[in-house]
Structure 1
Amino acid sequence: MDLPKSPGFDLSGKRALVAGASSGIGLACAVALAEHGAAVTLAARSGDILRDIVQEMTARGWRAEALELDISNVAVTKAAVAEHGPFDILVNSAGLARHGPAMKTEEGDFDVVANLNVKGAYFLTQAVAKGLIEAGRPGSLINISSQMAHVGGIDRAVYCATKHAVEGFTKAMAIEWGKAGIRVNTICPTFILTPLTQSTFDNPERAAWIMDKIKLSRPGNVEDVMGAVVFLASESAALITGSSLMIDGGWTAD
């Protein structure tokens, strides 16, 4: 009897680009991919921080390099991807938020958030896909979205708008590029405890709201995302595209 064999999670021979890799979820994703054999290019605006991270990663025997890049600059992003690619794997974790009541949203704040979270993410994904198509190679493109791409949230109208947009273009790109063997998906975490989110958890009212919504009664950690990104990048997810992988502790189960 021939038994089925798991495709596994080995990423040896793959090249990965991780944007927003200087901290938090992006850094965790870069480490996870490198641990599983991928050669990882870490991209972010903080060049000095990236170089320190790369030094630490290569000291552990992983393959990593730094690329100073602001993905909100579309022309520079396209040129950088064309020069350093093609990349078999993309993880876009670059993003920002400016929270506040919808009635008090300023146009400038909206533009800054949308320019990075939507426009930058869109054209980064496009650029990596273009390199793969020109090289005749398949690939896995992953945008770090949010549970807020599927629900609403207090003081998060702008952030929710941008993440809902990411879900939309991800599905459309998955449809367009499927025949080229390019998979496009999102990962949607709940609140992840990082230095950037610590102030939210320090607010008793916000912390209570979060804990009430997360059915597992704990915030997320960056480690909770690491296995998911390896899975979507690997052949174990070969038939998954146009999907959203929820890592939300049951927040959206209601």
Structure 2
Amino acid sequence: MKCPECKGKVVMDYERSEKVCQECGLVVRNVRFRSNGSDEELNENSENYRHRKNISHRTYDGGLSTVMSKRVNGNVDGKTAGHYRRMSKMDRRMKLQEYRNRLMKDAIIEIENQCSKLNVPTSSTEDAIDFFEKCYRRNLTQGRAEEVVYSSVIYMICRRDGIPITIDEMAEKYGLCSKQISRFYRTLKDRFEVEIPLQNISVYIEKYSSDLSVPNPMMIQSKKLVREVELKMSGKKPNGIAGSIIYYISEKNDFDLSVKEISDVCNVSWNTIYYGYKDIENVVE
């Protein structure tokens, strides 16, 4: 390698980890040695970086603690292999001795299971787990049922990310009263000052249209109708408005869809769908 200034010979200064020109003393670039003998460039033009493992909220320790593997190399004898297995078992038990680790492990399993059943994206699931940990640190979980905390956290993250899930759905999944979830949800929103956007009824229409096998052209008509009736029907539950719009469009297009089918999918009473349909008729006509 030649010096870019004087074309002299460049040599490696191992004490300073620098490449230096023998003639003019110019430091060509800084390098750092890896354990395998290859060097890594650290100048601003380098694209080669080494970094730590990303923190994962889906494990109670963030995925950063050392894990003793259960698997033993086949080159050791039976006595040593048994010793390694006992050490691995003891390591797992010691990590879960702390109450916080046990609580977080149970919470992660429960939140992941519920988010999986509700088809919540992975990123939102991780945010829900992270948010539960923040609640624990602020002592907001004390004196409350675990199911209420789990469901409220999941519901708040879904509302924040625009995922079409209602409080009634969450209450039904956990066998709780919707007022319990609603009360703690408001507490979390106020305490952490989370900005929750208005619910997008079009997202609910997409979800329910898919569940009811509504043709795509009718779903597009339903989403267009949202803009006309949204202001007139403000204050009502989004799943009820979405169900009423789908029923109105299905009647208009002679699509065979009963009120009971829609009410079962939207998780509202048939009266909600029927009277919502009448309100839409008055607005449109």
Q: TM-score range by the shorter chain?
A: under 0.3
The structure with more strand, counted as a fraction of residues: 1
Give the TM-score normalised by the residue count of structure 1. 0.25
Name the structure, 1 or 2, with higher relative contact order (CA <8 Å, separation 6+).
Answer: 1
The structure with more helix, counted as a fraction of residues: 2
